[in-house]
Chain A
């Protein structure tokens, strides 16, 4: 017995080290582990692969092979002849300026286009951690002022464009960005107020947050559009875009306040007590000790909330403000282009998706980065 064991051991020692079987490592191993690990998994993989291939072929046929890319002079007969077998991208080719810029004067389209570029630049700069300083607030004020000048014009040789003619993507960006920029300070005040020890202030903040969060944004927008004019003294009027912007700020303020409050609550009590022990006043304590830590904690949920508002600005469609989605919906009202909603909504959706996807990936990356020190 022991003989045999000895011999076997000697044999193994002589053999050259072998690599793992081909079925366990590399590509094949990966396939076996992740796609074909059992009969159920294999069946699911095959079924899904079949469905994906079938769907992809159908989609490529519809979107590219059979598609019509342009038609002369709004003659959409070529599109109608497809009877749904191919996409009519001609509607996008024809109306893309309208979808992006609304009824802004055609020869001035470079102005909203430049504004869109400025907005995107502003987002990118704000996303970089090296710019997270007090000066960032100044950059925001400056860029938003430049955007206002560009859109209205009336100076530097740019003709004046009334607000009623603005439209498209730039309105969506204005509503979202100004909404956030003004809702954020409001949210901080409300969040602090909700944790305040002064009963009257606490009650006001709780009432505000719970009231706003209990009703849909649409009801606030309706309020801004039909009720707000009744609130103002006779002769005083605020234009519709500004009223909708106010509704969005009030709405966003309540939701952001809850996010900020989450950050305030997650700070340990010792931070508050240490600040008190140093003899700091309430505002010194809040500004130097509490807020810098609390806000840093809630940046990822803040970005997620911002994605939500970016999407929610599309609700202004219901009160007739000309944002990106409204422009898309209006583009297909014309009889010649009726019935090509799917193509337009896919295009508009792609624009929303680019913005939201970028923000969502950024938020995920940031969360991982900010949580790195907790992984021990």
Chain B
């Protein structure tokens, strides 16, 4: 039995460490540990609830926007604020844009290098690369001369001897299986995607002022629409947004999806590994009506247990019996003992580091070993993310999801059960980007038609003034972040935040074991993953990256109304 440690897990957001026991060429047990913590929720206590989105947003700069939305929705839910239809449409436009942007960057810049061998692209024949490109797509950047130029650029870079971000990776690993031509195609698209993303993200800049970290507003959106003003959102801005939507959609259809299919075709054995817990949770996203009209979510809400797609369970995040958290293996301490599970509205935490003194070699995995809590839904360890969303939508028969899932499976000649895997998770992300890319022109048209009808209100001022608020109010805000179901639970008292808690996608996926010893989804998915060479655990990276970890999001403190604040000061 060998024990391998990968820390830092790179090409993710944040600080993740995996320790795994390998026996007979396979991982038999894995431990997922988040190694950074800031205490954002504690910082939120006593603040103006209308400011909370800005603090919460900084939980993550990769899926920037998502915590802002969850926060705003939680505050609006608590105070009973409805947002105007045009504001809801602008929000949906931004959510879908951010989702596609994030998925494309994950595929090309964070995940691709697990499958694509960069130095191997130097061996490619540019003519054959062009043939391959033509065979899978009519994307225009596909001439032999184009690939020859990319290759010579790469050659010059490699010959400089300064490999920078490509240095010291597992390039000699036999698990890399693409022919050099596919490697070259993917390297070209790595660079194209890097350029594409900085243009299409401008949709968020036009509407939010900058990206990362655009601006939002409780009660609507901060922008105003006035076709007669050069200073606010007008026809010019709207037409630039449309240009970027087209560019975004074209890239997904002509580059991302064809590349996913081409690369997956060489790695079909990865449909048998990495399944994990087999339970899936989605809060749903893109409200067509009011924020909390659950039956009008474009991507539906629901839970699937034990890979049984025949039954989608109803989910109520406010029900104290449903979403709960354990700290048995987390660096926190519950007043009522570490074996209880607590709902976020009652969340109670005291940081309690019992790990080894740095610098250290190994974690003490029998005890506490992560800054993440272990969230559970009705006691089950649940996977969240694009796969969960696509499965829930598929099981609920949403035709715009079902058609695309079926198309991808048919192209890969794979059964539906292939989705329960590392490969399935990566494919589901691409499918979702495709669904979102087709949704974007629809929501854009809705924006235009609302403006045409003269419905240009973007802000509901009725409850802006704290004088209009009840003495105490509680609210829940959902959000389907690119990485999965995100929830914020807020309690407002006397105009200030009294209690705040986030349960975050990468906490669901990357959390440690609970009091009953049930592993989290990363840990479960890694079990059974083959490891050819424990010195170069490329396969481990493939499965972990298929979840798209985001650790800054995941590590939190949960305030317990005063008592813990005092304790923390004492420390």
| Chain A partners chain B | no
